[in-house]
Amino acid sequence: MKKLLNIAFTMLLCVSVYAQQALWGGSPLVSPEINKDNTVTFRLYAPNAQKVEVTGDFLPQQKIETPFGTMDAPGAAEMIKGDDNIWQFTTPVLNPELYNYNFIVDGLKITDPANVYQIRDVSSICNIFIIGGDRADLYKVNDVPHGSVTRRWYESPSVDMKRRLTVYTPPGYEEGNEKYPVLYLLHGMGGDEEAWMALGRTSQIMDNLIASGKAKPMIVVMTNGNISQEAAPGETSAGLNPPSFMLPKTMDGTFESSFPDVVNFVEKNYRVKKEKSGRAISGLSMGGFHSMHISKEYPDMFDYVGLFSAAILPAGDVKSPVYENIDEKLKVQFGKNPKLYWIAIGKDDFLYNANTEFRKKLDDNGYKYIYFENGEGHIWKNWRIYLSDFVPMLFQN
Amino acid sequence: MKKLLNIAFTMLLCVSVYAQQALWGGSPLVSPEINKDNTVTFRLYAPNAQKVEVTGDFLPQQKIETPFGTMDAPGAAEMIKGDDNIWQFTTPVLNPELYNYNFIVDGLKITDPANVYQIRDVSSICNIFIIGGDRADLYKVNDVPHGSVTRRWYESPSVDMKRRLTVYTPPGYEEGNEKYPVLYLLHGMGGDEEAWMALGRTSQIMDNLIASGKAKPMIVVMTNGNISQEAAPGETSAGLNPPSFMLPKTMDGTFESSFPDVVNFVEKNYRVKKEKSGRAISGLSMGGFHSMHISKEYPDMFDYVGLFSAAILPAGDVKSPVYENIDEKLKVQFGKNPKLYWIAIGKDDFLYNANTEFRKKLDDNGYKYIYFENGEGHIWKNWRIYLSDFVPMLFQN
């Protein structure tokens, strides 16, 4: 036993003296603790801190002043220091959801050292936890058959690049002979081919929807829509550089016109249905923009289109053949009767008016689409909802 | 442009007010900054902190007292506060290597908020950075063809479980018809099927060795050796619980005797060579222990065996048929002339004496093996070295 403990300590590569002491200094600190009544208790051992706060998306948002006007930001709550030098805060009862949070210690935003479940969102890291029940059970890993998730590279001849994508194949794909339909799932600005897996919980949502019979087994292809990048930060020869939000060429038509490279790669390398009725495309924000433009550029490619909180029109100064003659292209696309054109947005989304205008255009022309509106704004909570509502509508006939 | 910035801000889900301010408050703080002379500067904005340290494996180790005796722990260096409230520390010139670090702010160990490159080691998170050059270039993502990495589940009938593994397939695997040899690569205590990918940099090492012609293209299968777990923490229906170092049944013979399930799965599902000369097994610490016992239990299975800082003998109170008649089984194994039996350990490893005893046993019996000894101890730096030295010796004839 002593030998095992020796192995234990010497293998804890990145554990400081402080953390090691915690290993033999009594019961380890638990944070977050999800209590039986679905309140959540956060704890942080910080004997010398003057002020500790928790900030996260379960707290009411606050307004902050910025050079660009008043904006919403996650709220913060003060934690209380106990005699044991452990700061603590317990939430009200929380609804089922995947939540994120950070601590703020004397003004310094940190992650919770007691919680290894962390997710990168662009250039920040936050902790996550899940309150189960209702829809949030779709976001959990459950005891159901699991698909495979592969990070893979493909050639994109139209831009002469090797690029990385993430592929979810459903349980049973490798063993059978069946041909599967494909959902192409696109991220928003600042995201990459990891975003839908991390904050989107795509593999969990797909496993759970397929296991319950609510979704058809399908392949999900998550691309990188930043055409100036080969792959997510840290995954290219650019090295371990800080991720950048404002990348060049994200919405200039290049990614859209290179998209057939992705479809060709998938259809050459996977056992898939190679017709319009076997292909869907959807994306969030910039990925909704890409989905809208790709699907109208290639009106015979996709029978299912999903715009999640989509940006709609290109910035005024961007020139690309992709963004010309939009009305005529939409006429062609809708003339071919796509099986589903689905638009979803939250009432508080800053893109709400742009989506309303776009729907008016569709209405004025009698183009068929389905509209889903819910609360809140431009947040991952909504995109998980949209994905889990959209997927069951795909490939059902 | 304002619209794009609006997208930017509202999409930054887990960014606090403080971080958002940094976005328009001037140039962002860079940390770590790898300077041209291979010194490294760390920076942390912490206006209210009294003391800030950096701790990491590039600093001289320190001795600490524990209930189990004196042990080595990563050293720490004090950072200096500047007029701008930014704490700073610059290292001496560092040798090429992948390094890890954390900050300690008034006694609280945190990750560097400016560096999104973080790795979990058991129950702790540390930041990483790479000083390139020499061997460390193998640990970087370089502009070479990249293999695919898949997280996948398999049936293990001998323990009646579904279990998760990570599979690296070399560049070209999907397009060709060639049959590939397989390296089974096993983690140590506290690790899981993610460990060799994260701290081991396996996919980078494989891509780079294959691209330079130093290693044969091969498949690498990274298993989960904790037979009580189906998969890594967070990847099972157990939920987002804290990872545990001391798991039941890690070294009781169950994983070893279930190992043919893994080989059967791989040989049924991948285009691989199905003979002894096409199979290698290696692992670090507990994984070296597993590799030693599996390879002697199944003496016709593996022609290549690698023990990296291996634990050798089971704890005295553990009973398993796997651990009986070790000498006779070794005689059978070595009687079949494995092509390579490779033992590697660092001079300061706490398992050094156990390995010396084991080598004496092999020597006394005239069993052929190759021994590699280097400096330092039971650390990932050594395991990356051992992997990148071992792999080029495999499947060369």
DSSP string spanning A43-72? EEE-TT-S-EEEEETTSPPEEEEETTEEEE
Do both A102 and A176 map to the same domain? no
DSSP symbol at A30: P
Question: Which residue in A12, A46, A48 is closest to B122 by CB distance?
Answer: A12
Residues A181, A125: one domain? no
Strands (E), chain B: 33-34, 40-45, 52-56, 62-66, 69-73, 76-78, 80-81, 86-90, 97-105, 108-110, 118-121, 124-131, 148-156, 161-169, 182-186, 219-222, 279-284, 304-308, 340-346, 370-374
Q: How far apart are CA A76 and CA A93, in angstroms?
A: 17
Residue B2 lies in a domain: no
The whole domain housing B389 covers 139-393
CB atoms within 10 A of CB B211: 16
How much is the pLDDT for A97? 97
The pLDDT score that the predictor gives to residue A27 is 58
What pLDDT sits at residue A68? 67
Rounded to whole angstroms, how far apart are CA atoms A205 and A212?
Answer: 11
* Residue A176 CB partners (closer than 8 Å, separation 6+): none
In a domain, B322, yes or no: yes
Domain count, chain A: 2
Domain boundary, last residue among B132, B163, B190 = B132
Contact predicate A221/A266, CB 8 Å: yes
| For helices B326-335 and B286-297, angle between their N-to-C axes, nearest 10 degrees | 70
Residues of A in contact with B153 (CB under 8 A): 145-146, 148, 171
Is the per-residue pLDDT at A164 higher than 80?
A: yes
Beta bridge partners of B328: none
pLDDT at A9: 44
Lowest mean pLDDT among A2-11, A84-93, B67-76, B191-200: A2-11
Question: Per DSSP, which regions of A193-303 are E strands?
Answer: 219-222, 279-284
Alpha carbon dihedral B75, B73, A117, B256, in 10-degree steps, equals: 140
Q: Is the peptide bond before B32 cis (omega within 30 degrees of 0)?
A: yes
User: Is A14 domain-assigned?
Assistant: no
Q: Could you tell me if A255 and A319 lie in one domain?
A: yes
Of the candidates A17, A123, A236, the beta carbon closest to that of B64 is on A17
8 Å CB contact of A189 and B377: no
Same domain, A265 and A383: yes
The answer to whether A150 and A169 have CB atoms below 8 angstroms apart is yes
Q: Is residue B311 part of a domain?
A: yes
Interface test with A, best of B7, B129, B173 (most A CBs within 10 A): B7
Task: Tokens for A86, please give them.
Answer: 């452990």
A2-14 exposure pattern, b = at least 16 Cβ within 10 A, e = fewer: eeebbbbbbbbbb
Distance between CA atoms of B252 and B320, rounded to whole angstroms? 6
My answer on whether B87 and B111 are in the same domain is yes
Interface test mutation site (partner B, options A4, A9, A16, max chain B beta carbons within 10 A) = A16
In a domain, A12, yes or no: no
**Which residues of B are less than 8 Å from A56 in CB distance?**
14
Write the pLDDT tens digit of every residue in A331-363: 999 999 999 999 999 999 999 999 999 999 999
Answer yes or no: do B73 and B184 share one domain.
Answer: no
Is the Cβ–Cβ distance between A242 and B30 less than 8 Å? Answer: yes
Distance of CA A379 to the CA centre of its chain: 9
At residue B244, the pLDDT reads: 85
Domain boundary among A97, A130, A163: A130
Report yes or no: B138 and B205 within 8 Å, Cβ to Cβ: yes
Are B206 and B228 members of one domain? yes
Residue with token string 């990385």: A164
B151/A153 CB distance under 8 A = no
How many angstroms separate the CA atoms of A251 and B41, rounded?
Answer: 35
- C-alpha distance from residue A87 to each of A39, A42, A45, A52, A82 (Å): 17, 8, 6, 7, 6
Q: Which of B76, B99, B132 is the last residue of a domain?
A: B132
Q: Is 60 exceeded by the pLDDT of residue A1?
A: no
Query: What are the tens digits of pLDDT across the range A308-330?
Result: 999 998 878 899 999 999 999 99
Calculate the CA A11 to chain-centre distance: 33
Query: β-pairing, A304-308 with A340-346?
Result: parallel
Angstrom distance (rounded) from CA A381 to CA B138: 39
Residues B231 and B333 in one domain: yes
Quickly list H helices, A212-336: 254-269, 286-297, 326-335
| Local structure of A142: helix, strand or coil | coil
Domain assignment present for residue A219? The answer is yes
Q: In what order do the strands lie in the sheet with B80-81?
A: B33-34, B40-45, B86-90, B80-81
Q: Do residues A182 and A103 both lie within one domain?
A: no
In a domain, B6, yes or no: no
Cα distance from N-terminal residue to C-terminal residue, chain A = 60
The percent of residues in chain A predicted with pLDDT above 90, rounded, is: 84
How many Å apart are CA A396 and CA B8, to the nearest integer? 36
**Count of CB atoms situated within 10 Å of the CB of B70:** 9
Q: What is the pLDDT of residue B389?
A: 98
pLDDT of B11: 44
Of B4, B150, B315, the CB nearest to A148: B150
Asked if B130's CB is within 8 angstroms of A199's CB, the reply is no
C-alpha span between B331 and B346 (Å, rounded): 27
- CATH code: domain of residue B282: 3.40.50.1820
CATH for A89: 2.60.40.10
Q: With contacts defined as CB-CB under 8 Å, which chain B residues touch A174?
A: 152, 269
CB contact under 8 A, B378 and A10: yes
Q: What pLDDT, on a 0 to 100 scale, did the predictor assign at position B63?
A: 81
Rounded Cα distance between B251 and B247, Å, is 10
- 8 A C-beta contact, residue B358 and residue B331: no
- Nearest-by-Cβ selection for A6 from B245, B269, B350: B350
Pick from B13, B67, B243: which is nearest to A116 by CB?
A: B243
Q: Clarify whether residues B52 and B90 are in a common domain.
A: yes
Calculate ∠ Cα B185-B188-B189, nearest 5°: 150
State the average pLDDT for chain A: 92
The pLDDT tens digits for A197-231 are 999 999 999 999 999 999 999 999 999 999 999 99
| Residues on chain B touching A48 (C-beta within 8 angstroms) | 50-51, 106-108
Same domain, yes or no, for A236 and A87? no
CB-based contacts of A72-78 (< 8 A; 24+ apart in sequence): A72/A377, A72/B10, A73/B15, A73/B16, A73/B17, A73/B20, A74/B14, A74/B15, A74/B16, A74/B17, A76/A104, A76/B16, A76/B17, A77/A53, A78/A51, A78/A52, A78/A53
Mean pLDDT per block of 10 residues along chain B (397 residues) reads: 46 43 59 97 95 95 77 89 96 97 95 96 94 97 98 97 97 95 97 97 98 98 96 95 87 96 98 98 98 98 98 87 96 98 97 97 98 95 98 95
Within-domain flag for A313? yes
Same domain for A311 and A188: yes
